[in-house]
Amino acid sequence: MRTVGVIGLGLIGGSMAIDLKRRGFATTVLGVEQDPVAAEAAKTIGLVDDVVSYEDCIQRADIVVVAVPVSAAVKMVPDILNRFASLAGADAGEKIVIDVCSTKSQICHATQYHSRRRQFVSTHPMAGTEYSGPWAAQPGLFDGRACIFANSEDSDPRALQTIGELYGVLNMRPIYMNADQHDVHTAYVSHISHITSFALALTVLDKEKDEKHIFDLASGGFSSTVRLAKSSADMWVPILSQNHDNILHVLDTYIEKMKEFREAVSAYDEARLRELIAEANRIKKILR
C-alpha cells in the first residue's frame, strides 16, 4: 500500500502518474493541479485516482512528486518539508518529497540547511517532448532514459533507495551528480538546444512576414532543428533564469562558433568551412 501524490499534472507529472500506477509502484496516485482546465482534463483522461488539494496531498501521500516549473518548485519543496515537520503521526518522518526539475543548483541550495533535508530527493528524469499539459502525458515516456540524482548524499539512504525503486519501475538509468555540475552539463546538452531552436523559429518567422509559402519548402531537417521551439515559456523562462551563468557561458561559445561560420562563408573560405564541418561531424561518434 503506497500512495504517491503528484503536484503538477503536466507532461512529466502526468506521465509519471500513469506509469507508477500501471506498473504497480503506487496503490493510489493523487494529483494536485491549480489550473482548473488542466485539473478537469487530468480527471477526464484518468491520469490520477483523485485530484485533491495541496494540503490533502501532503497529508495523504507517502511520496510527493513536485512536477511544477522550477521557479515554483524552489519555494514549494521547502514548504513541503516544513509541513512534514509539523505533521502529527509516526509516519511523517518517513514521507519523501522529490522534485523533477531541469535545474538543480537553486533547489538544492534552498533546502540545504533544512532540518528535514534528508526527506528530500532531488532528481531530474531526462525525458520529455516539446508538448506540455496533461494532454501531453504518455505511458513509457521515461523508458530507457537517464535520471540524475543531484546531491544524493544529502538524502536519507532509505529515501534514496525508495526513489531508486520508483525510477527503476520507470526503467530509468540512474546517474549521481553534484547539483552544480548537473547544471553545467544540462546547459550544454539541453538548454542551449532550446535557445537555438527558439532563435531559429524567430529568424524564419521574421522572414515569413515578407515571403509567402516559405514553409512549403520546410524540409525534415528544418522541422527537426526547430521542433523544440514549440516548448512552453512557463517551463523555460525559469530554467533560463536559474541556470543564468552556465547558459551565458554556453551562449557566448555558441555565438562565437556562429561567427566563425559567418566569417568563413563571408570570405568564401571553403577550406575553413570544410574544417569546421569535419570537426562538427565528430558528433557522429557520440549520438545514437
Site for a second copy in 141-160 (CB under 8 A): 145-146, 148
Q: How many residues of this chain bind a second copy (CB under 8 A)?
A: 92
Q: Supply the minimum distance, in Å, between the C-beta of residue 72 and a second copy.
A: 13
Q: Supply the minimum distance, in Å, between the C-beta of residue 210 and a second copy.
A: 10
Q: Where are the beta strands (DSSP E) in 48-189?
A: 50-51, 63-66, 96-99, 120-125, 146-150, 173-177
**Binding residue (CB under 8 A) for a second copy from 84, 142, 149, 236:** 236
Q: Is 122 helix (H, G, I), strand (E, B) or coil?
A: strand
Q: Does 140 bind a second copy (CB under 8 A)?
A: no
By DSSP bridging, strand 3-7 and strand 63-66 are parallel
**Binding residue (CB under 8 A) for a second copy from 43, 143, 203, 209:** 203
146 vs 169 by CB, closer to a second copy: 146
For residue 180, what is its C-alpha cell? 552544480
Q: Does 219 bind a second copy (CB under 8 A)?
A: yes
**Binding residue (CB under 8 A) for a second copy from 110, 126, 136, 169:** 126
Q: Does 248 bind a second copy (CB under 8 A)?
A: yes
Q: What's the count of helices (H) and strands (E) in the chain, helices before strands?
A: 12, 8
Which residues inside 179-198 make contact with a second copy, applying CB under 8 A?
A: 184-186, 188-190, 192-198
114 vs 185 by CB, closer to a second copy: 185
Q: Supply the minimum distance, in Å, between the C-beta of residue 186 and a second copy.
A: 6
Q: Supply the minimum distance, in Å, between the C-beta of residue 200 and a second copy.
A: 6
Q: Does 224 bind a second copy (CB under 8 A)?
A: yes
Q: Supply the minimum distance, in Å, between the C-beta of residue 145 and a second copy.
A: 8
Q: Does 75 bind a second copy (CB under 8 A)?
A: no
Cα–Cα distances in angstroms (integers) from residue 11 to residues 65, 258, 284, in the given order: 13, 33, 30
Q: Supply the minimum distance, in Å, between the C-beta of residue 203 and a second copy.
A: 5
Q: Name, in order, each residue with C-beta under 8 angstroms of 262's C-beta and a sequence gap of 6 or more.
A: none
For residue 212, what is its C-alpha cell? 509567402
- The span from the CA of 266 to the CA of 269, in Å, is 8
Q: Does 85 bind a second copy (CB under 8 A)?
A: no
CB neighbour burial string for 169-186, b if at least 16 within 10 angstroms, e if fewer:
bbebebeebebbebbbeb
**Binding residue (CB under 8 A) for a second copy from 13, 128, 134, 164:** 128
Instruction: Residue 194: name the closest of 32, 34, 202, 145 by CA.
Output: 202
91 vs 213 by CB, closer to a second copy: 213
Q: Is 100 helix (H, G, I), strand (E, B) or coil?
A: coil
Q: Does 218 bind a second copy (CB under 8 A)?
A: yes
Strands ordered across the beta sheet of 28-32:
50-51, 28-32, 3-7, 63-66, 96-99, 120-125, 146-150, 173-177
Q: Does 109 bind a second copy (CB under 8 A)?
A: no
Q: Does 221 bind a second copy (CB under 8 A)?
A: yes
Instruction: Please choose, out of 30-38, 58-66, 160-168, 265-273, the segment that lies near a second copy by the rule CB under 8 A.
Output: 265-273
Q: Is 27 helix (H, G, I), strand (E, B) or coil?
A: coil
